[in-house]
Structure 1
Amino acid sequence: MTIDRAVLMFAGCMVLLSLALGFYVSPWWYLLNVFVGFNLIQSSLTGFCPAAILFRKLGCPAGVAFK
């Protein structure tokens, strides 16, 4: 799995987790969706993604977006 796909999968899991926690635990968990969304936007504009750095350190091969 490349870093690109790992980042997309991680973001999707975080959104689904945030929705579930917001529905079952507290509506404040919806703020995690806001954070994930802003992080995806800033990553697309700047090329800096903390999750990509983490997955690179874990040994995922580079994809097209994060070289």
Structure 2
Amino acid sequence: MTVESGLRLMAGLMVLISVALTRFVSPWWMLFTVFIALNLLQSAFTNWCPAMSILRAIGLKDASCGAPPVTQGR
């Protein structure tokens, strides 16, 4: 698994967990969903996310590591 796919997995799980907590515990858990969305938005512009650092620290590799270069088709 790469950092990029791990990040999508983590974000998806966190959204599902926050929605369940909102439904069954308290509507205030929706703020966690908003935090996740804002973090995804800022990472789209900065290409950096704190979760990516954590995933790299536990041993996941970037998708570009060892992959052949991408070339444009004709």
Whether TM exceeds 0.5 here: the answer is yes
Which one has the bigger helix percentage?
1
Deviation (angstroms), 1:35: 0.3
2:7 is the counterpart of 1:7: yes
Question: TM-score under structure 1 normalisation?
Answer: 0.92
Residue matched to 1:52: 52
Question: TM-score under structure 2 normalisation?
Answer: 0.84
Q: How much identity, in percent, do the aligned residues show?
A: 44
- The list of structure 1 runs, each at least 4 consecutive aligned residues, that deviate by more than 3 angstroms after superposition, is none
Residue matched to 1:39: 39
Deviation (angstroms), 1:28: 0.3
CA RMSD of aligned residues (A): 0.7
CA separation in 2, counterparts of 1:10 and 1:59?
A: 15
Tell which structure's C-alpha radius of gyration is larger: 2
Residue matched to 1:21: 21
What amino acid maps onto 1:4 in structure 2?
E
CA separation in 2, counterparts of 1:46 and 1:3?
A: 16
Number of residue pairs matched by the alignment: 64
Residue matched to 2:72: none
- Compare relative contact order (CA 8 Å, sep 6+) and give the higher one, 1 or 2: 1
Q: Which runs of 5+ in 2 are unaligned?
A: 65-74
Q: Which runs of 5+ in 1 are unaligned?
A: none
Deviation (angstroms), 1:48: 1.4
